[in-house]
Amino acid sequence: MHNTVLILDFGSQYTQLIARRVRELNIYCEIHPYHHIPENIDFFKAVILSGSPFSVRAEDAPHPDLSAIKGHKPLLGVCYGAQYLAHFNNGNVAPSDIREYGRAKLETIYDHSGLFAGIPENTQVWMSHSDTIAELPDGGVRLASTRDVANAAYRIEGEDTYAIQFHPEVYHTTHGRQLLENFLVHIAGIKPDWTPAAFVEETVEMLKEKVGDGKVILGLSGGVDSSVAAVLLHKAIGKNLYCIFVNNGLLRKNEFQDVLDQYDHMGLNVKGVDASARFLDALRGIEDPEAKRKAIGGMFIDVFDDEAHLVEDVDWLAQGTIYPDVIESVSVNGPSVTIKSHHNVGGLPDFMKLKIVEPLKMLFKDEVRRVGAELGIDKNLLGRHPFPGPGLAIRILGDITEEKVRILQEVDHIFINGLRKWDLYDKVWQAGAMLLPIQSVGVMGDERTYERVVALRAVESTDGMTADWVNLPYEFLQETSNHIINRVKGVNRVVYDISSKPPATIEWE
């Protein structure tokens, strides 16, 4: 059993980053909403309190009972967490005269052992708060200050309780990784043993025990997540895994056959099902993005139900759900507010009568790739860009028709092949084209045209939680635009999306 860190989510946009930074230290952690603290606290070896958009001074401020944690477990409060520990333990949190957002310097570190071991003075940190800790809580000992914040960090005497008003998880905090390592490894005594090899070994054993002699049906997409899930299950249960790859009519150009050929070399038992007509018919006339996702999710269930009946005595449905899917799909008042629904999260209708197994549901995307490499999966498959489950349906804004799908497949094909030709594909985390619900005036030859507009999107990211647009070479964009307009009938204008996430999402729907 691994030593596990509990991260209590108070609604910060950075909570998932805390988890990723902890995992990068080869330490396993889990995120739980502040108002659903696990009953078995003994399972966790340390606790981190996240930031929050709330003020501790507000009447509706999150106020969980931490009596079983504080003073009993190594505890680190980050930003709101630091103010929470002060405010509810006889300290004083007040509105700050000078709000600190962005970069700051720890001008004074009063104790270079413990939490700040190996961290020099004047190190850069990232602040994001409008309140400040005016007076430390009972037993509080100041550890560090910035020019404008006297109590930038403190500890509680006689406890392994620490608090910082800055965010160690963000890139702009120069020694954030060192601080987290100091707290988790040196103060909490946690052994960094969360590795891809350990995950594979433990997950295969878990699957053997959980599934037993049961039969599992798995929907393959050709992407990283479902492929790694399939190989893990195959390693655990062999011939009892039945894989299905569905052509929903919304795949990339030639992808259905290309993916089937790819899986043929991996030793997996895969059946290809062309259900494109069913999906396109179910989507006809639907414009709302959520309605499209639900229609596709419902049709997937119908197709799988049909296919599952062709395999005798199927017990389980496997899914390639990963941790960001789980986090984004948890809808509570405050933390983890739903951004969009995920059709592969949340269970099955009662009529399907299958149990769900999700071997990757606690992994981030980069961890899935490392596990895939450990399993010996081809690096070209592991390096594939993420592709949305609903496929091109959420890259066609508005209603779906066969003609729109054809246009977008051709545009996407030119864009993705161009990235490969220019040696840019592996420098981009995800790329795709969007078909916009507008037409624009153009001139081709001596004729006036009134045709469609497409937007190209390329982002760099680690796990999709945050993303930046990629500054692709102008020469590449020029060539790609020319090829699209000259070769794809129905398109006369190409634009490039330079929005980051947040505030924009990676997909347009």
410-457 tens-digit pLDDT: 999 999 999 999 999 999 999 999 999 998 888 766 677 788 999 999
Q: What percent of the chain has pLDDT over 90?
A: 64
Residue 129 Cα to chain centre, angstroms: 25
> Tell me: the pLDDT tens digits for 264-288?
778 888 999 999 999 999 999 999 9
Bridge partners, residue 355, by sequence? 316
Q: Is 261 helix (H, G, I), strand (E, B) or coil?
A: helix
402 is catalytic: no
At residue 479, does pLDDT exceed 90?
Answer: yes
User: Are the C-beta atoms of 253 and 284 separated by less than 8 Å?
Assistant: no
Mean pLDDT of 302-322: 86
Q: Decide: 117 and 136 in contact? Cβ < 8 Å.
A: no
Catalytic site residue from 2, 87, 167, 175 = 167
Is residue 169 annotated as part of the catalytic site, yes or no? Answer: yes
Residue 151 scores a pLDDT above 70: yes
CA distances from 249 to 56, 246, 307, 390, 409 (A): 50, 9, 18, 10, 10
Q: Which residue among 100, 169, 410, 507 is the active-site one?
A: 169
**Who's near 202: CB < 8 A, 6+ residues apart?**
none
Indicate the pLDDT class of residue 349, thresholds 50, 70 and 90.
low
| 59-63, 244-248, 320-324: range with highest mean pLDDT | 244-248
pLDDT band at 475 (very low <50, low <70, confident <90, very high): very high
Could you list the beta-strand ranges (E) of 360-404.
none
pLDDT band (50, 70, 90) for residue 317: confident
Report which of 470, 477, 488, 473 is spatially closest to residue 431, judged by C-alpha positions: 470
Distance CA 362, CA 5 (A): 13
Please, is 14 exposed, middle or buried when counting C-beta atoms within 10 Å of its C-beta (0-12, 13-18, 19+)?
A: buried
Q: How far apart are CA 82 and CA 50, in angstroms?
A: 9
How many other C-beta atoms are found inside a 10 Å radius of the C-beta of residue 102?
9
For this structure, is 167 an active site residue?
yes
Give the torsion through C-alpha atoms of 379, 384, 390, 392, to 10 deg: -140
Backbone angles phi, psi at 245, to 5 degrees: -110, 115
Q: Which of 29, 79, 87, 367 is catalytic?
A: 79
Query: Which of 39-43, 216-220, 326-330, 347-351 is the least confident region?
Result: 347-351
Cα R_g (the chain), whole angstroms: 25
Question: Is residue 343 left, alpha or beta, with left meaning phi > 0 and alpha meaning psi from -120 to 50?
Answer: alpha
Percent of the chain with pLDDT over 70: 92
